Structures are given as structure tokens and as C-alpha cells.
Chain A
Amino acid sequence: MSFVRTVCALLLPLAMAPMMAQDLRDLPEWARPHALVASKEPAPPDADAWVLFERTEVAYAGDGEIRTRRLMLLKVLSERALDAGTFVIHGLGGKASVVKRLRGWNLRPDGEVTKLDQDRVVTMDNASEADVSTDTLTAAALPRVAKGSLIAFESLQVIQHPMGPIAATGILRSFPIRRWELEPAKQEGWFTNLKRVEVRVDRRHVEPWLAGLSPLGEKGLAADRVPALPKDEGYHPAARNVVPSVVVRFLDPDLKGGPPWDDWNRNAAWMYAKYTDKLQATPLEGAKGKDLRTGLEFLTRWMARELQYRQVYLSPERGWIPLEAAEVGRRKYGDCKDLSCFLMAQLRLLGAEVRPVLARIMDGQVELDETPSLGTFNHAIAAVRLNQRLGLAAEVETPQGRFLLVDPTDRFTSFGFLGEVHRDGRVLICTPDGGIWVQVPSSAIQRAKIGIYLKGEVDASGGLKAALRILETGNAWGLRGVAQASGLQNLRKHLLTNLMDLPPTATLEITKMGEPLDLNTPFLIELEVKHPDGFRRSGDEASLAALGWRILPGQIQKPGAPRRYPVRQGGGAVLEYTADLWVAQHCVPILPAKSGDTPFRSFSWSAVASPEGTGTRLALQLRHESKLVTFDGDHREEGVAASKKDRAQVKNLMADALAFKVLP
């Protein structure tokens, strides 16, 4: 018996060897308890990596300086996540952000430990979507990461943000998180008194993603079992409007420079001052002596023609602060702030009272009770104070008078309107006395519309020869933009790639094109299309090629997967399709008429066939309009079901509307 026990005692360490291979003492002290606890739990199913612990400490050190310490411990669960051994820090560059410390550990499943080597730290400039920016990206790659590796990173970044001591973070990541913590603090030094500094922590959209956030220390927050961000779900609202996030503000009354973040009014007044500083400009020759309306129309047209949208940020604050109007005029390019600043300067020379306006486009909305935060807005436009109505669509009445909203970045929306990107938007007009919140009225938005008018003939072998007139109102399909920015050849490519589903033997020639910047009339493109199989015969039916029928919605998500995001469709352009077609066969429509109204769209279809000569004349009409629709929270599965049903209905419409019974 004792022999058996002895053998067991000898063999036990060997049997445990694989389990003991990772010595958690090789990890930094803060990581060990989390690694130990997690080692006793099953990993989340279907995850490529598991963040065992993520902690962010945001400390205010006075004078606008924030020190952010980040700790992260992660377990690599599959080969897909080997790149989790790379840690990335974004910064604004220059003195605005400095990475003071960056350490990393890779505890491999075989027990070997590799640590971060300075030669594997890469820092690159120009790390944003701008053409040029001072933004930096620091990436540290741990060597020899393997499946089963425990990866730990620790970083310290000192940030002197030009817009003040404010920080924001999301909570959900690509991988599930076992324990998440955020702890703000004041970091007083020998000579720094931060007693008057107020720390505010605000959270949004915590439910239904998390059961709640528990308090941590004086101001901190923590969460356990944070799920990963959903994947493969289409038609959802912008993440900022639905997934959890936290904003930390250090309100320092002694801080000079940077906007106040305690309320929107003081913030807006500060922003107003930043624009008015930069409004010196030489008047444009053609604008002199014009009244406000004609002057404004002249200026927006001139800007659309002469100035180019480019983001060139050569100093850290340029993401928020405009360039001097005179310099914008010299460069003949600028971003939305710069273009707004230029327009404001020129309008001021005409005697107008102008205001910068902060907006959010293309990536969610500004919510009603939103905490002042850096990420609230992503666009700038201008407002002109009106003493009397000009009769333009984008005029808004506010408690402080009437304003006209103008978006000088948008070159393709008719004068007096705002583009579709502003639909449902909430903007902040910045005045010397504070901010004015304005809900953009739907009447201010130019309804985008596409008209397709086809006239043609089908020969006995099914070959279609057609002339198409496309009329685009507003920037419905971006045709004006493509034509203006990249010319006729690329417009042809764009049409073929995105709008016309033509076989390789078909031909498409643009015979006429309107002036993309003439916004008084719809943008006209005339095409000649030859499609060798445009009226394709199958059995005793034939189907007409769906030229320009860009109406089939994408699939909302993979079948069978539970929905996590709410469902949202953002609306779209109205499509009007008319065809007058002579077919060298006797045929009748399979679907003479149909109209539909789903939560996502409404449409009406009619097809009339009349015998003419040796064939049939077809008169076809479709009107299709996408709707703006949202299925919130508890109704999301209902939204998925409705979306699937809607897709099937459109598919059937496309199959049946353009199908014709060929008569003997």
C-alpha cells in the first residue's frame, strides 16, 4: 500500500505538469488573482479570447493633465486571437499625449514568459482617418503568443488634452470581459491643490447589456461578466446610442484654456469664441454688395466649386478648433469646421450675424439628456441669424430668434436645405451667451429622390436596347459626388458596380451628363444600355433585367442567432422607375399591380401590356420609399422577423414584377 502511495506521490506532480506549466507568479501582481480565479472557471463558449481583467485608472494631476493607467489581462483561446498580444494606445501626438510606461507579459501555456521588448513597440503618426493628423498610434507586440497564453499589459499615458481633462470609454469589447473596472481619482502633488476640482462620472446605456455597474471606491465603477459586442448584426442603431459607455469629467475651476465641461451653455459659449477669433477674411469679389439671401447663395455655390473637403490636422487641437478663415481661403481646402468658419467670415462681411453649430451625422444621434462630452458631436455647420424669414427650408425658430442652418461641407444639397445626414439630428447653436439646442425639422431636409426613366426595345432573341434617364435629387445615390470628384469614366464604373447589374457582354455608355454642382435642377445622367439577355426567357416566361432596382435589403443577420442590438433602418431615397418598352413577343405581366406597406418600406407597382404591331408595348411603374424605423429593446426579435418578412416580400416583388408570361 505504501508502495502505491509512494508511486502516486511521485507521479502526481507529473500528472499535474500540464496544469502547472503556467506559473502565475510570472505575471504582474495585479494580474495573478484574476488569472487564478479564471483558471477554475470555464471559458466563455465561442470566444477567441477572454479578457480576465481590465482596469482603467484616470487620475487628474491638475493644470489639465490626466494620467491614465490601463491594466489588462487576457487569455488567448484560439489561433484567431493571436493578435491580442498587440496592445494599442491612441494619442493626439505632440505634448497632448505621451506614453510614459508600457509593459507587457506573455505567459505561454508551456510556462515560458516573454516580455515586451522596446524593439517591438511601434509608434506611428498620422494615425487617424484624416488626410494628415498629429494623432499617434503606439502598438506593442508581445513575441511568441500562443493559444492558451495569458497576456498582461500595463500602460501609463499622460494626456494634456487641448479640450480639457475629460475622458470617455466604452465597456464592451470584441471579447467578453470577466471583470471590468474604472476608477477616477485626483492625484495631488506637493504643490497641487485639487480640492476645488469636482469629479463627475456619468454612464449611459448600461442596461440591458449589464445587470448594472457596481460602485468601486469613491467614484469608480465595476462590472462582472461583460459580454462581447454583437457580431454579424445588420440594421442596428449607432453603437454610441445603444451600448454602455462612461464619461469622466474633472471640473477644475482654476483651469485656464480648454472648454468648460460642466454644462453645455458654457461649453457652447467657449466654442463660439474659438470661431469668432478666426473670422478675419478678405471679401470674395462676387459677394460684395449682395443681400443676405443672394450673398449666401453665391457663397455656398462658390465654396462648393472652389473649396475641397480635407482633414489636415497639424496640431492636436485641430480636431475641434477651426483654422483661420483667411488661411482656409489660401489653402482652398479644409474640414467641416474650417469650411464653416470660412463661410461665417464671409457672411459676416455681408453684415450677417453668424454662429457655429455643432452637429452629429452618419453615426447616431445626440440624445436629449446627453452629458457634455468630447464625443457628442462629429460635425460642424453654421447658423445665420435672421431678422426676417427668407423662406428657406432650413430656417429654425428658437427661443433666441430665428436662424438659418447651413452646412457648407455638403456640396450637393440644394440651397436652403440640409442633407439627409441631418435627418432626426439635434444640433447645438453656439452663441456668446450659451447654447441653443435645436431639433432639425424634417421639413429642413431635402428629400432625396432617384428617377429612372427607361425607353427601349427588346428584340426577338431577348436583347434589350434601352435609353435611360436618371434624375437624382439631392445626393440620393451619391451620383453627383462621384461625377464631380472623379469624372465621367469613374461615374460609369460606379453605375456598373453599384446600380446596374449587367453581364460582361452588355454595354453601357453615358451619352449626357448634367452639371453636378447645379443644384437648382435634379442631376441628369443619360445612358444607352445594350443587354444581350435583358429579357431573359425561361420556359414560357421571360424576365426583364432590373436596371437600377437597388431596393433589395441586405440580410439582417445570420439565421437562428438571437438578436442583441435593437433594429433600425435609417430611411433612404425615394425611387421612381418608369419604363416604356416594346417587346418583340406577345406577353402579359405576371404581376399587373401590387402595392405594399411594411414597417421598412412602401411601394406600388403597375404593369400594363398592350399589343402593338408584332409585339407588345409594356408600361411599367414602380414607386418605392424606404422608411425610417426602429424596433427598440424588447421588440428587437419582432424587428428581425419583420425585416425577414420585408426582405422576402421585396424579393418576390423583384421576381414577379419583372416577369412576363410569353404567349404563343
Chain B
Amino acid sequence: MADSWTFGRKIALGFGLSVAILLVVCVVSSHSTDQLIDNDRKVTHTHAIVEDLARALSIMKDAETGQRGFLLTGDESYLEPYQAALASYGPVLSNLRGLTGDNPRQQERIEQAESIIHAKLSELKRTIDLRRGPGLDAALKVVLTNEGKRSMDDLRAVLATMDREERDRLRERSESAEASASAAKTTIWLGALLGVAFVSLAGIAIARSLHQQLGRAIASMRSSSTELQAAATQQASGSREQSSATSEVSTTIRELLATSKQIAESAQRVARIAEETAGGARAGSQAVQQAQEGIATIKRQVDVIVGHMLELGRKSQQAGGILEIINELSEQTNILSINATIEAAGAGEAGRRFAVVADEIRKLADRVAGSTKEIRGVIEDIRAAVNTTVMATESGTKAVDVGARQFKDVTSAFQQIAGLVGTTSDAAREIELSTKQQTTAVEQVNVAISNVAQATKETEASSNQTLQTATQLARLSRELSQIIQARADV
């Protein structure tokens, strides 16, 4: 059970018992001292009574001495001791009466001594008065009666009795004081020896217990200090790594912050450009609508042109038909002229002149045929041109239709672009807002990281301090272990 007691409890128990022993010794010593003091006070009291008894006898001697000198000389100056005795015997008796208040026998004796003193002083006064009056002889007669001597003898006897009783009491008190002092001395020595023995035993027991518990505690402390040292070293290393990582994170966050600001600026520019693009898209949509209206007008004009060209084609076809008739006529004319030439040639000399006419007709027919061929070529060119123009116009119409549809698509695309640009503008604004919020958050994170870096540095410093403390603790545990080992060896 005592092994589970704490150091304080054990030390408190040891010191408590020691203090109890000291208290006992103190109480006994105090009691003995009180008794000694009481005895001393009583001894002093007795010495005072003895002194007053001697002083009372001395006063009466002084009064008798003065009376004798005056009787012998008649000089008043010899009465001074008598006068002093008259003044002082009362207080002395009163003091004796107070000092012996606890002793009835002494009170009776004081009464006896006082009556004797009064008788003596009365005899002295009578003689002094006789010396002053009748003279010396009258006074001597009284003296010779030995009344005074008897009074003094009685007084001496009473005072001697009182002195003996007081001296007996003084002896008893001295013996009692010696007994008390001896008992106190014995008690103090025994208490001191007991205290020393108990304190020594308690000290040995506490030292032994402390050695064991301190040994275990020191071993535990050494182990803990070693672990703490390792942990502090690891923590310091971790703190340095964390500080380095925090610095890198802080640098990265600063770069991220700069990037976020750039993104915000870019988003702002994008939003601005998107607004400008939206304006451009609206303007483009309006322009496209106007162009679409222009294309519709062109389409109507082209339709009119196509109609005219088709009419022109029909007219040229009619002209071609007429030209075919002319060609047929010229060909038949040519055939007729050829036949006329043949006939004229067959007619011989008579047909020579007719042959000339036929030849001219044939030439005219040839020329008509040539002109007809040219006209046919021209008409064919016209028809080809008309056909080409119609085809081109139809292609143009189709192209215009396609263009109109494409313009519709372009208009739709512009509207879609305007919508998308609006969406882009909103998205850019949201990006800008989000990026600003992100920038604020990153700044807060940066501040937090700075705080973390500061805390990490402080942790590193604290770890170093802990490491130093752990090292000191380890050294201290080794020193304590050496101290305990040395004491155990001793």
C-alpha cells in the first residue's frame, strides 16, 4: 500500500510524525518551563517577603537607633531615622500583607508584628517626648523598664518565624523547580532522540522509496525524453519541410493569384469584346436583313429578266423560223438558178444571155444564202446567248434563292451568334465575378497560408526549443540517474 503513496504523502507522513514528536516534546518542555517559571515567580515572591521582613526589622532598628541617639544627645537630627521609620513601616507592612495574602498564618503573624511595632513605636515616642520634656532621666526610667527591649525581641521572634516559614517554602519550591527542570530535560532528550530516530528511519524509508520511484520515473523520463527528442527532431524536420512546402504553396498561390487576376482581366476583356460582338452581330443581322430585302428585290428583277429573256428566246426562235423560210427560199432560188444555168447552157448560144441572168440570180441566191447563214449564225448566237443568259439567270435565280436561304441562315446564325454572344457575355461576367471571388478567396488563402507559414516557423522554433528541452531533459535524467546511482553505490 505504501508503494502507491505519493512523494508528498510519504514526506508529509514522515514530517507529520516528526512534527508530532516535536510537538510532544514542545508541550512537555513548555509545561516544564511553565512550572519552572511559576516556581521562579514563587521563589521571587518568597524572596520579596523575606526582603520585606528584613526591611521591617531594619526600620524598627533605625527607629530605635534614632531614639537612642536623640536620648543621648538631645539633638533633633538624630530623630531622622525615627521619622523615616514612622513614614515607611506602614507600606512595608501593607506590602507584606499583600504578598502573604494566600497564607493565613503569615497574615496572623503580620498582625502580631504590627501590634508589636505599634507598641515599640509608642514606647519610643514616649521616651522622645520625655527627653524633650523632663529630660534624659525621665526618659531613661522608661528605657530601663525594658519595655522596648521586649517589644524588639518579640518583633524579632515573630519576624524570624515568618522568615523561617518563607525560607522553608523557598526550599520546597527550589526542589520542585529542580524536579520540573529535570523532567523537562529528560523529556526533551527523549523526544529529541525519538525524533532523530524516527526522522532517520523515515528519511531512510523515504529515500529508499524515492530511489525506487525516482529510478523508475527517471527511467521513464529518459525513455520519454528520448522519445520526445526523436519526436521533436521529427517534428522539427516536419516543420522545416512544412515550412518549405508552405513557402512553395505560398509562391504557387501568389502565381495563382496573379493568374486569377489575369483571368479576371481577360474575362473582363472577353465580356467587353462579347458586348462589342453582340453589337456587331445585331448590326450584322440588320445588314443581313437589309441585304435579304435587297436580294428579294434582285430576285424579282431577275425573274423579270428571265421572263424577258425567255420572250427574247421565243422571238429569236420565231426569227429562226422565218430565217429557215428565207433560207429555204434562197436555196430553192439557188436550185432554180442552177437549173436555169443548166437550161441556159443546154440552150447554147441562145441561152447565153439567160445564163448570165441565171448566174446573177444564183449569185444573189448564194449571197442570200450566205447572209441567211450569217443571220442564222447571229440568231444562233443570240439564242445561245439567250439560252446562256437564261441558264445563267436561272442559275443566278437559284443562286439568289440559295443566297436568300443562306441569308436566312446567316440571319438565323447572326441571331444565334447574338444569343450565343449574350450567353458568352453573361458567362464572361460570371467568370469575371467568379474569378474575382476566387481571387478574394485565394488572397484569404494566401493570408491563411502566410499565417500557417508563420505558425510553421513558430512550430519549428518551438520544435527546436522542444528538442533543446528534450536534450536537456535527457541530460538531466542522465545526471539524476548518475546521482541516484552514486547514492545507491554509497
Bound pair: A and B? no
Give B contacts to A, CB under 8 Å: none
